[in-house]
Structures are given as structure tokens and as C-alpha cells.
Structure 1
Amino acid sequence: MSASLREVREARKFGLRELARALEVDPRLLSQWELGIRVPPVEEVARILGYLRVDRAVTNRILALAQHVKDPNWLDSNPSDLPAALTGVMQCERSASLITNWSPQIIPGLLQTPDYARTLLSASETKAEVVDARLVARLKRQRILSGYEPVRLKAIISELAIREVVGEAGTMSDQIDHLLALGVTSNISVRIVPADVGYHPGKIGMFALYDFPSDPSIVFLEHHHASAFVNELEAIASYRKLVKVLLDKALSEDVSRELLREAAR
């Protein structure tokens, strides 16, 4: 539903702030509706579709989604069994102009090889069909890094994630080779934070900061069985400061590549 709302707005050539102003809605709230972070009331969905003059068939389809979005049976019928937060993450990734990702323990999902990703997914899920579905979704997400207008990605990774042995023999070396290959592309920056830099606030956990061409920025926090989207201005400013701290501690791209080559041996 959230993705559909954004698609119809963009199809009508409306900017998010422009539509929010016309509907007298806070642009941050409208952004949250379009990203699946918050659920809009059905009447607000109808008002948006009416203002955009969306045709009846599309309107009925989106309204049906809006009416059932909180129905657990509707949600449980998802055949891919993907986490609910993943919808918002995928929408953020597709819409962002810049993604800044801090990963203190594992390689970021957008940069994972299939074998590395499967090993991680299998560690927390025993059903093979669920692992397969989530693996396919993760690999599809990586398409934003290539193509006509690829998203820019700043990946800040702890050395601990590089040194951690994941999977069978060859899985980790293949993963590091993959990082080396991606790190030389013009839209991807890979920088490593050495393990011996001491304590810093980034050790608390991983996060992704999404910057959009015109929409307010969003931070996504991910843990084992919980996740959260944050868009309060004060919180975003705090995470930007944390990014600066991490970049100050990180090795340059060239030195990071040297460390990766050494780790792959």
C-alpha cells in the first residue's frame, strides 16, 4: 500500500512536500505513510487518491490494501514470509540518493554475497523456504547499486566484521573479494574502522541513514528480533554526528582496501 501511494504521487508529477502542502499534512507524516513506517487512516488514503485523481480500478485496489493493512490474517498471507519492516527498508533504498550504513558485526546486506547471506539467514531461521525467500529479497535489493542511476552507498564496516569467520571455507574470502570489487565502483565507498580504535558510540549497534532528494531523512535501526525507523530531526542530527565520528576513525578507502586484501589471504 505504501509503495502504491508513492507510485501514484510520482506518476502525477507531484513532489512530496507539494502534495503535503495541498492536503495540509505534515510532510514527515506523509513520508512515513509512503515508506510503510506508519499506517494512514483509510479516509486519508482516499483523500490522497481523490486529490491525485487516480482512476477507479487503482483506487479500489489501494483502498482494499489500506482497509486490511492491520489485519493479521492479511499480513500472515504473505507467501514470502518477509519481515514487515523490510517493506519500509526496500522503499527507503529505492528512493534514497545516499545511503550511509554502519555495520559493527556483519557485512551490510547490500554488499553480501549469496553464500554469506544464506549463512546468516540460516542461523536464525530453520525453514528452508523462508531462508530462500529472504535470500532472494536480499539479493534483489542489491540491484539499486547498479544500473542507470545507482544509489550512492557509504559503507562503514568494523574490522571485526571482516575478521569474523562466516560459513564454510571460502565463504569469507569470496565475501571480501566481493567488497574489494564493489569498493572501486564510483557510487560505492567502503571504509573499515580498525578493531583497535577503542570504544566509540557506534559499537552500540548497526544503523542505516537514508538521505532523499527532497524528502526528510530517515534512520533505520536493526536488531535480532526488533527494528525501528527514526525521523525526528534531533535524532537524525545525532546520527549524522555519529557518522562523522565513525568516518574520523575509519581508514581511508585505499588503506581499507589494503586491510581487506590482507584479511583475504
Structure 2
Amino acid sequence: MSASLREVREARKFGLRELARALEVDPRLLSQWELGVRVPPVEEVARILGYLRVDRAVTSRILSLAQHVEGPNWLDSNPSDLPAALTAVMQCERSASLITNWSPLIIPGLLQTPDYARALLAASDIKAEEIDARLVARLKRQRILSGYDPVRLKAIISELAIREVVGDADIMSDQVDHLLRLAVTSNISVRIVPNEVGYHPGKIGMFALYEFSADSAIVYIEHHHASAFINELEATDSYRKLVKLLQGKALTEDASLGLLREAAR
């Protein structure tokens, strides 16, 4: 539904701020509706579609989607081929000025090789016929890290994710080599939290913090069969503090490169 709102606006050649002014809506709120991390009331969706003079069939489809979504911070469970949460993640990644990714168990998706990603997907409960679609989507997401004006990424990764064998030894060797190549690019920072630091709150689970030049931050949390987006200020501030804690426990970029080189042998 969120992607559809953005598509119809762009099809009518309206800028986001232009439409927000016309509807007397905060542009940051409209942006969050389009990203899919904040759910617009059905009547607001109808008002947007009416102002843009969207045809009846498209209006009916989008309103039907809007009526089945609830909550200011929303949860996507029982994912389908390409779940709504994945669409929202891709929108956040494309729009962010900075992504901070904490990953305690696996290599972050934006830094995975195709073989590593396929091994992860094959080991999950995803149907075999859906794996290729998920893999293509994951690899397309990585394009934000290269080309003109790439997104900045700060990846904080547990040493366990480097040592844990996914697929086989050759796949892991290629994956570590891939991290080494990416870690020296100007827009990507890779820092490793060594195993010997002991317990810390980051071990509870992975998350991504998306920061935007004009909008408030968004946190994305992913688990086995569900994911959630959080944009309440108090909650996102808590994750900023957790990022600082993790950075304090992580090796420097140079020391992290040294650990990766050692793991690649």
C-alpha cells in the first residue's frame, strides 16, 4: 500500500512536499506513509487518491489494502513471496542518508555475497520456489552502496557472524574476502565486536537504524517469522544509545580489518 501511494504521486508528477502542502499534511508524515513505516488513516489515503484523481480501479485496490493495515509502529508476520516489510526496508534503504546495522549472528544482508545469501535462504523455512525471488531482491538492495551518491553504511558485526560457517568453508571464505573489499570503500564502515567482550544488550537481536536528512529516524527489527518498524522518538533514541554502546565495544576499523584478514586465511 505504501509503495502504491508513492507510485501514484510520482505518476502524477507531484513532489512529496508539493503534495503535502496541497493537503496541509506534514511532509515528514507523508514521507513515513510512503515508506510504509507509519500507517495513514483510510480517510487520508482516500483524500490523497482523490486529490491526485486516481482512477476508480486503482483507488479501490489501494483503499482495500489500507483497510487491512493497522498501528503506528507496525508488525509484519507470516511473510509471503516478497512481504510488505521487505518493500518498506527497500524504501528506507534507498531514502536513508545513513544506515547503522547491528548483526550479532549473520553478515548483514547489504554485505552478503550471492552464495552466502542463498545458503541462508535455503536453510530457512522459505519455500524453494520463493528463494530466487528473495535472492534477487536482496542483491538489488545492495546497489544503494555503489554508484553515484551511495548510501553511507556503518556495519557493526559480531565476531561470531564471521566465524560461524554458513553453507561451507568456501562460501565463508568468499564472504570474508567480500567484506574486506567493501570495508575499504569510502561510504562503508565495518567494525567487529570481538567474542571476548562478554554479554551486552546487543546480543538480544539484530536491528537497523535508518537516519534521514529531513525525516525522523526509523528502527527496523527482524526475527524468524516477524519484523517490526519503530519510529517513536523515545524508542529510536534508545537504539541510538545502544549503537554507541556497541561502537564502544567494537574494534577500530583498522583492527577489524586485521581480524577479517586473519579469518580469511
TM-score range, shorter chain: 0.7 to 0.9
1:68 paired to 2:49: no
* CA deviation after TM superposition for structure 1 residue 167, in Å: 0.5
Instruction: Show the counterpart of 1:125.
Output: 125
Q: What is the alpha-carbon distance in structure 2 between the residues aligned to residue 93 and residue 208 of structure 1?
A: 10
Runs of 5+ consecutive residues of structure 1 not aligned to the other structure: 73-79
1:17-36 pair list within 5 angstroms: 20=20, 23-25=23-25, 29-36=29-36
Counterpart residue number, 1:75: none
In the TM superposition, 1:53-202 aligns within 5 A as 54=52, 56=53, 58=54, 60=56, 62-69=58-65, 81-125=81-125, 127-202=127-202
In the TM superposition, what whole-angstrom CA distance separates every residue of 1:122-167 from its partner, at most 9, and x where no partner exists? 1113532111111111111111111112111000000010010111
State the match for 2:75 in structure 1: none
3-state SS of paired residue (2:99):
strand
Whole-Å Cα distance in 2 between the matches of residues 25 and 189 of structure 1? Answer: 36
- Alpha-carbon distance in 1 for matches of 2:190, 2:100: 10
Report if aligned partners of 1:104, 1:202 keep a CA contact under 8 Å in 2.
yes
SS of 1:239's equivalent in the other structure is helix
User: In the alignment, what sits opposite 2:237?
Assistant: 237
Distance 2:264 2:243 in 1: 27
State the distance in 2 between where 1:50 and 1:83 align: 27
226-235 or 80-89: which moved more? 80-89
Name the SS of the counterpart of 1:181 in structure 2: helix
1:31–1:61 CA distance, 2 compared to 1 (3 A): farther
Q: Is the 8 A contact 2:45 2:63 kept in 1?
A: no
Name the CA distance, whole Å, in 2 between partners of 1:87 and 1:140: 12
- Contact persistence 2:194–2:251 (CA under 8 A): yes
In the other structure, the counterpart of 2:220 is 220
Distance 1:176 1:223, change over 3 A: same
Provide the C-alpha distance between the structure 1 equivalents of 2:212 and 2:8, rounded to a whole number of angstroms.
18
- 1:19 shift after superposition: 5.1
Q: Is the 8 A contact 1:180 1:257 kept in 2?
A: yes
Distance 1:258 1:60, change over 3 A: farther
CA change 1:126–1:42 in 2 (3 A) is: closer
Give the residue type in structure 2 aligned to 1:192: I
TM-score (norm 1): 0.86
1:233 deviates by 0.3
Q: RMSD across aligned C-alpha pairs, in angstroms?
A: 2.3
Aligned length: 252
For the 8 Å contact 2:45–2:66, the answer to whether it is kept is no
TM-score (norm 2): 0.86
Instruction: Say if 1:98 and 1:152, in contact at 8 Å, map to a contact too.
Output: yes
Q: Residue 219 of structure 1 aligns to a residue in which SS?
A: strand
Distance in 2 (CA, whole Å) between partners of 1:247 and 1:96 is 20
Shift in Å at residue 226 of structure 1? 1.3
Percent identity of paired positions between Structure 1 and Structure 2:
78
Partner AA of 2:59 in structure 1: L
Whether the 8 Å CA contact 1:116–1:166 is kept in 2: the answer is: yes
Structure 1 residue 95: Cα displacement: 0.8
